[in-house]
Amino acid sequence: MISTIDRRAECRDRALKVLADLPPFSPVLNRLLATLGDENVSYARVADTIEKDTVVAGNILKLVNSAMYGRSAAITSVRHAVSLLGVAKLRNAVFSLSVSRMWSHLRTPPGWSMARFNLHCVGVAILADLMAQRVPVAYAEGAFVAGLFHDLGKLLIAFALPEEYEHIQAAGSQESQMECELNELGFTHAELSAEAVAKWKLPAPVRLAVQFHHAPALDCSERRPGERRLSLALSCANEYVNAAGITGDGKAQSGAREPLSYLAPLELDEVSSCLVKDFEQEFEAITPFFR
C-alpha cells in the first residue's frame, strides 16, 4: 500500500514532469524577464529584443493598432509601438503572448479550455499590475508575471493527473476545491505553481506571491513599511477576476460578492473606478489574442 508521503511525491513528480514537455522559454522571453527590475531599460533595447521574434512582433503591432488605442494611422514599427505603449505594457503583452504560445504545445485533456485558462491568468496579471502601479506593493515589477503563473499548478494537475483533477473540480467552491486538492494530492495548486516557478528560476518574490495567493495572511516575505505584500495584490486580483466571471474553468463563482468588494483589502477606494476602467480596456484589447 502506498503511503500518504509516497502518494504525494508521486503526484507531485507526475505534475512537474509536464514542465519537461514544454519548450524552454524563448530567447525573447528570457531577455525580457532579465529586464524586470530595470526601470531604465531603453526603448531601443526592448524593441530590438521583440523584433527578433516575428510572431510576437506581429502580434504587438496588431495590439497597438487595435481599437483601444484608436490610432488614425497604422503603426508599422515595433520601435514606434514601444514608444507609444511604454516598456512596461509592451513587456507585459509579450509575456502574455509568449506564454500562451508555450502552452499551445500541450495536448489538451477532456473538458479543459486553454482559452479560458489564458484569459483568467491574463486578467489577473493585468489587474495585479494595475494595482501595483497605484498602491505601494512589494516587488511591484513582478505583479504581472505572478498573475500569469498563479494558477500554473492547476494546468499541471489537469494535464498530468486528469482523474484527480475531475474529482477536485466536482468539489464545488474554491475553498472545497483547495481541501480536495490536499486530500487527493497532498498539496494545493498554489504550492505546485510555486514549485514550478522556482524550477524556472523566477525571482523569489514572484514564487512567494504565487504560493500564498489564496492565503496572503500566511506570507511572511519582506516588505517596507507601508507596502502591501505582492501575494495580497494577487489574491485581490484573482478574487475580482473570478467574481467578474472570468474563471479558468468556466464555472460561475457561487456566493460571489460584488467584484469591487474584493479590492477592499488594498484600500483602493479613491482610485478603484479608474482602476476598473483601465482593467476593462486593457483586458478587452488583449482578449482577441486568446480566443
- Band (157; pLDDT cuts 50, 70, 90): very high
- Band (288; pLDDT cuts 50, 70, 90): confident
55-67: average pLDDT: 84
Task: Write the pLDDT tens digit of every residue in 88-140.
Answer: 888 888 889 888 888 888 888 888 999 999 999 999 999 999 999 999 999 99
What is the reported pLDDT for 71? 65
| Secondary structure E strands in the chain | none
Sorted by where each starts, the structural domains of the chain and their CATH numbers stand as 4-21+109-290 (1.10.3210.10), 23-105 (no CATH)
Q: Within the chain, what is the greatest distance between any pair of CA atoms?
A: 69
Three cell numbers at 136?
A: 505601494
Note the pTM of the prediction, 2 decimals. 0.90
- Interatomic CA distance for residues 182 and 153, integer angstroms: 13
Sequence-distant (≥ 6) Cβ neighbours of residue 31 within 8 angstroms:
49
Q: To the nearest whole percent, how much of the chain has pLDDT over 70?
A: 94
43-54: average pLDDT: 85
- Interatomic CA distance for residues 93 and 218, integer angstroms: 31
- Band (170; pLDDT cuts 50, 70, 90): confident
- Interatomic CA distance for residues 233 and 225, integer angstroms: 16
Task: Write the pLDDT tens digit of every residue in 207-216.
Answer: 999 999 999 9
Alpha-carbon distance values, 107 to 22, 111, 155, 272 (Å): 11, 12, 11, 39
Residue 197 has pLDDT above 70, yes or no: yes
Cα Rg, the chain, nearest whole Å: 19
What is the reported pLDDT for 198? 95
Residue 1 has pLDDT above 60, yes or no: no
Position 115, amino acid:
A
What is the reported pLDDT for 101? 85
Residue 242 has pLDDT above 90, yes or no: yes
Residue 38 has pLDDT above 80, yes or no: no
What is the reported pLDDT for 235? 96
- Interatomic CA distance for residues 287 and 101, integer angstroms: 14
Transcribe 133-181 into DSSP letters.
HHS-BTTGGGHHHHHHHTTHHHHHHHHH-HHHHHHHHTT-SHHHHHHHH
Task: Write the pLDDT tens digit of every residue in 268-284.
Answer: 777 777 889 999 999 99
What is the reported pLDDT for 59? 87
What is the reported pLDDT for 72? 66
Three cell numbers at 278?
A: 483601465
Task: Write the pLDDT tens digit of every residue in 222-234.
Answer: 888 889 999 999 9
Residues 147, 149, 155, CA angle at the centre, nearest 5°? 130
